[in-house]
Structure 1
Amino acid sequence: MRGGCRHRAASFVGRWRAAVNRKAILSPAARPGADDERSTARTVLRGTGLLVALGVLLLMVVLSTWIGTKDTSLGQVWSAITGDDGSYATGVIRELRLPRTLMGLAVGAALGVAGAVMQAMTRNPLADPGLLGVNAGASAAVVLGIGVFGLGTFTSLVWAAFAGAGASAVLVYVLGASGRAGPTPVRLALAGAAVSAALGGLIGGLTVFNAATFEYMRFWMVGSLAGQDPEVLRQLLPFVLTGLALALLMARSLNALALGEELGRALGTGVARTRLAAVVTVTLLCGAATAAAGPIGFVGLVVPLVARWLTGPDLRWVLPYSLVLAPILLLASDIVGRVVMTGGELEVGAVTALVGAPVFIAMVRRRKEISL
């Protein structure tokens, strides 16, 4: 009797396994090439999304050259871009709005990509490009340039800010790399916080006792694209392009680094070399952007979060999306700042803070979407 029961049970288990195997064989997920089909579909979807984002960016460029305190038409915008007829509207578009728009494109792309690289390098989805002390270094250099060395021209202050950003990033990396552990994400973050705090004290002391420094820093610290000299963009553009190229070339290495140091080494990635290249990249991008437009916040923090939510953790897609989405946010904020106040403008840094803070809080509350 017992043998018959065991035989029937074994027969039932055998039939159940056979049915499961047939279902697995007939399932679309188990068919040969199903994974390839899903991967292709995801690639097409991501590519389509990137093309849509590029279309929105083109729309922002048109609106940025069209909208302002001076009423102009799209025909005047096109005429100003294609040639100079000597009219007042053409002068406004060519000398004010177009350089401002191009500066917004460069600064936005630099901040967005710098934020994505910083978050991948530190394996912290809430990291900010200013974590390496770049913003504090640039601000301290501007304060020293005005209050101590008597710098007065805009170009000289821009280069002082860029030099200060680079020096601060180098100091943070040297401090973070000291010791046997090397430049770990935690050590770099702690070194950046310490350097930023020290430089913040220096900035506060000099601005209190120097009226000229205080007046300049009062506007520069907010962050603005207005009144930018096209020559400044031409001087800083090589640094921005170099940083963008380095970031895109490091996408695979940053993907491996985001998996952890040991797994990254097992995949053949030079961890120390990748971190050093990432620090150089962030310094070039964030230093140039901060020197040109001031320490604009939330762009480098929020945009990579949104890009990761749209594409997943693959840096080969996060970086291009950040490259496009960040200028969209910056130009849209600049347009809002022009029209929201009657008879004046709201600085773009203030608008990005007002827009970025709620988005940042919403993304943090949904922890799944910000995971690396």
Structure 2
Amino acid sequence: MSASVATVPAAATASPRRGSRRRVVWLLVLVAVVIAAGVVSVTFGTRAVGVDDIIAGLSGDIETASAAAVAKRVPRTLLALLVGAALAVSGAVMQGVTRNPLADPQILGINGGASLAVVIGLAFFGVSSAFGYIWLAMLGAALAAVFVYTIGSLGRGGASPLKLALAGAATAVAFTSLISAILLPRIDVMSVFRFWQIGGVGGATLEKILLVLPFLAVGAVICLAASAALNSLALGDELAAGLGERVRTARLVAALGAVILCGAATAVAGPIGFVGLIVPHVCRLLVGPDHRWLLPVSALVGAGLLVVADVVGRVIARPQEIEVGIVTALIGAPFFIAIVRRQKVRAL
């Protein structure tokens, strides 16, 4: 009898330790994968380069076209890493805040709100700087998030996952129509906006990265600080409140961090979809639903995914390029359908 009692605590404590070790292992593996993806991104592209070209490009000794190509790929790779991480963390937080497995900056219309704000700034206020794009995109993303959540909360049952997804899809369509209405009479604005609208990192520069980096850092800190609160929200509002959590405040703070990340990433890379949808689901399979682990792991997987998608877009269409937003859409659309089908089966 005493032996059996003694073995229960040992088994109970061994399981969390094994879980923590497994998470640490996955974290280290993903760090290595992201580094490898960065090396591949600098090495491969529309132009073939050799070891000498890579060394010259990284050292700043630009004497050949291949070395210049390497020098251009470095900021492109850094921007892809940052944007991928930001979108993935933003998607994970949105899914936690809304308890909606379909939540994603594009599906919820937040990318559309950021795009509409940028178009309005371009067409009517003459905004043309990257700094202006960042503030406009964050403002548009925030207003879109509030609007979608308000519409999705109407009626019985409050903001259910299905209602939020429908409200976000309808809002995204409406924003797209408004963008088209603004752009059609303005050919000059359309020529500037159409390349940004697809979503890509081809225009990356170190100046642009340094400009957006503080916003991404602030958004990431807010999201990470809200990770424990997101774990409480996952239990339901009533239980979270019973545990002492300020539900509305926690939801607002977490959503603010997600909006900052999404708006800043959209401002510099355009509306790239499905990264925030795919990555959190994959990461939950690796490290579980604990947001204290889920958010850092999502950042790594999102960074690696966007870098790999950018490399694929550069390689498969040589000597042309396919923007990364198209590649992520090709990957994400089937994944979205699979999630919808699984949720539908569970509801039956």
* 1:22-61 paired onto structure 2 within 5 Å: 26=4, 31-61=8-38
- Deviations along 1:103-137, whole A, 9 cap, x unmatched? 00110010000000000110111211245543122
Q: Verify the 8 A CA contact 2:152 2:160 in the aligned structure 1.
A: no
In 2, the alpha carbon distance for the partners of 1:38 and 1:146 equals 55
User: More displaced, 242-251 or 67-76?
Assistant: 67-76
Larger Rg computed on CA atoms = 1
- Deviations along 1:63-96, whole A, 9 cap, x unmatched? 1111112221234324433x222323333322x1
> Aligned partner of 1:121: which letter?
V
Greater RCO between the two (CA within 8 Å, min separation 6)?
2
May I ask how many residue pairs the two structures share in their alignment? 344
Change (3 A) 1:121 1:162: closer
Q: Name the residue aligned to 1:318.
A: 294
1:72 equivalent in alignment to 2:49: yes
User: More displaced, 272-281 or 127-136?
Assistant: 127-136
User: More displaced, 239-248 or 332-341?
Assistant: 239-248
Runs of 5+ consecutive residues of structure 1 not aligned to the other structure:
1-21
1:258 equivalent in alignment to 2:258: no
Q: Verify the 8 A CA contact 1:142 1:161 in the aligned structure 2.
A: yes
> Aligned partner of 1:104: which letter?
A
Q: Name the residue aligned to 2:93.
A: 117
Q: Verify the 8 A CA contact 1:25 1:31 in the aligned structure 2.
A: no
Q: Verify the 8 A CA contact 2:97 2:230 in the aligned structure 1.
A: yes
1:270 equivalent in alignment to 2:246: yes
In 2, the alpha carbon distance for the partners of 1:367 and 1:34 equals 34
Taking only aligned residues, the RMSD between alpha carbons, in angstroms, comes to 3.2
In 2, the alpha carbon distance for the partners of 1:163 and 1:323 equals 23
TM-score w.r.t. the length of structure 1 is 0.82
**1:42, distance to aligned residue in structure 2 (A):** 1.2
SS in 2 for 1:128: coil
In 2, the alpha carbon distance for the partners of 1:290 and 1:77 equals 30
TM-score w.r.t. the length of structure 2 is 0.87
Runs of 5+ consecutive residues of structure 2 not aligned to the other structure:
none
Change (3 A) 1:159 1:90: farther
Q: Name the residue aligned to 1:92.
A: 69
Change (3 A) 1:156 1:266: closer
In 2, the alpha carbon distance for the partners of 1:360 and 1:137 equals 21
SS in 2 for 1:33: helix
Q: Verify the 8 A CA contact 2:130 2:267 in the aligned structure 1.
A: no
1:103 equivalent in alignment to 2:103: no
Q: Verify the 8 A CA contact 1:302 1:356 in the aligned structure 2.
A: yes
Aligned counterpart in structure 2 of residue 348 of structure 1, from 324, 334, 340: 324
In 1, the alpha carbon distance for the partners of 2:139 and 2:263 equals 8
- Deviations along 1:263-319, whole A, 9 cap, x unmatched? 101111110111110121111100001111111011000000101122221111211
